[in-house]
Amino acid sequence: MFVRKTLRSAALGLFVFAGVACLAQAPTLANIRKVYVEPMENHLDQYLTSEISRQFHGTLQIVTSAGEADAIFRGINIGVQTTNKATVNLVDPSGKVVLWSGTAGDRDKKFLDVKHGGLQAVAAHMIHSLHKAMQAK
């Protein structure tokens, strides 16, 4: 009986320890240093890559394979969206955890939402939002 209780306690302790270890390894926005941008329709991936380089000034590195990345940008239903609005997710390398999600449009607030800026403006607004989220503690 004593051996059974000891084994049960040991197994429970190991289970709890494994759970805590998994939680400790879960990626957060704060520890992302390398991202991979998946190909997207209308070449939105190229605009996102350009904006990451421009706005992060090298603090967020863009890698050419998903295997090297801490997180991956994925377009969400880009094909059904117009070129003046898009949604992307930033997911962990397994693709199971959404670390950040953003939707942005191309309207310019300075011009009372009349002027459209295209995909470059969509990417600029989206990456600006990500940058703010990564700086928040």
Asked whether residue 51 carries a pLDDT value surpassing 80, the answer given is yes
DSSP codes, 35-84: EEE---GGGHHHHHHHHHHHHHTTSSEE-SSGGG-SEEEEESSGGGS-TT
Report residue 112's pLDDT band, with 50, 70 and 90 as the boundaries: very low
In a domain, 7, yes or no: no
In a domain, 17, yes or no: no
Q: What is the span of the domain harbouring residue 40? A: 30-135
In a domain, 3, yes or no: no
In a domain, 118, yes or no: yes
In a domain, 5, yes or no: no
Residue with tokens 């051996």: 3
In a domain, 19, yes or no: no
Asked whether residue 20 carries a pLDDT value surpassing 50, the answer given is no
Its pTM stands at 0.72
Q: What is the mean pLDDT of the chain?
A: 79
Count of domains in the chain? 1
Asked whether residue 132 carries a pLDDT value surpassing 80, the answer given is yes
